[in-house]
Structure 1
Amino acid sequence: MTFDVRARRVDAHGSEAACKSAHLVLDTDLAGRVDAFNPAELLMAALAACMIKGIERVTPILHFRLQGVEVRIHGVRQDVPPRMEEIRYEILVDTDESESRLELLHENVQKYGTVFNTVSPGTRLHGQLRRA
């Protein structure tokens, strides 16, 4: 499986990324932008999307019933060297499933997520999955 993304500088205030038929405005302005994701926020959004997609993938296999999912992520950046030092997450699942089934779902998110498994070796990545 391969993936392709194109990104280009629009001007000194921003850039854009494209993939398939989708386009994203990127915050590449040194002063920052409130209407676009900066690179660290994009990383965290990718992690959140990975978690949600993983849940979508395993719920039919596990016969896990849910009504909704929300992921909250908080990242801490260190300056020297610049990197994400820590990422904490909370996955909120709207479900009537048992606590043991919630733990099983969380294990699957941690074990089979492509972005999760890419980020976790180089960052303190920890969190919880709980009932909404």
Structure 2
Amino acid sequence: MNYQINASSVSNQDAEIHIKSSRIDFGTTPETADTLPNPAELFLGSFSACMLKNVERFSKMMNFSYTKATVHVQAARLEHPPRMENIHYDLKIYSTDEKLNVDLLKKNIEKHGTIYNTVKLSCAITGTIKTL
């Protein structure tokens, strides 16, 4: 599989990413630092999206049902050289299905997640999965 996106910015204004029929605004100026996502937050958003996509994918393969899933991701940014380190996630799956094997789901997400595995090559990832 191959992927492509387009992004653009205008001097002294913010920027946007174009993916298929979606447009995602992001901040590049100090004026929107508190209102628009920055590149580091978009990176963590991609990591989160990978996890949630795999919850959906594995719910079919592992034959369990859930009503929703949420993930909270935290990361530390180091300065020299600038990079992300120590990503931690808390994934919550709202399900009462006894067929949901949380340990196997975690193993599958960690083994088959494209973004997860890409990130794992450059920094430590820890996390938990809980059912509610």
**TM-score greater than 0.5 by the shorter chain:** yes
Deviation of 1:31 (Å): 5.7
Aligned to 1:3: 3
Q: 1:58 corresponds to which residue?
A: 58
Q: Distance in 2 between matches of 1:75 and 1:46?
A: 13
What are the ranges of 5 or more consecutive residues in structure 1 without an aligned counterpart?
Answer: none
1:54-100 per-position Cα deviation (integer Å, ceiling 9, x unaligned): 11111111101211100000010000000001110000011124597
- The amino acid of 1:43's aligned partner reads F
Summarize deviations over 1:3-41 as a string: whole Å, max 9, x none.
111111133231111011110111112565222211110
Preserved CA contact (<8 Å) 1:26 1:37? yes
Partner of 1:130: 130
* Corresponding residue SS for 1:85: strand
Residues 1:100 and 1:19: Cα distance change in structure 2 (over 3 Å): closer
Q: Is the 8 A contact 2:71 2:89 kept in 1?
A: yes
What aligned pairs does 1:18-29 form with structure 2 within 5 A after superposition?
18-29=18-29
* Distance in 2 between residues matched to 1:96 and 1:56, nearest whole Å: 16
Q: Does the CA contact (< 8 Å) of 2:8 and 2:17 recur in 1?
A: yes
Please give the residue correspondences for 1:20-99 in structure 2 after superposition, counting only pairs within 5 Å.
Answer: 20-30=20-30, 32-98=32-98
Could you say what the CA RMSD is over the residues aligned between the two structures, in angstroms?
A: 1.7
Which residue identity is paired with 2:126? H
Between the two proteins, the alignment pairs up a number of residues equal to 132
2:104 corresponds to: 104
**TM-score normalized with structure 1 length:** 0.92
Q: Secondary structure at 1:16's aligned position in 2?
A: strand
| Cα pair 2:64 2:100 within 8 Å, conserved | no
- The answer on whether the counterparts of 1:54 and 1:109 sit within 8 Å (CA) in structure 2 is yes
Q: What is the TM-score when the length of structure 2 is the normalising length? A: 0.92
Structure 1 segments (4+ residues) deviating >4 Å: none
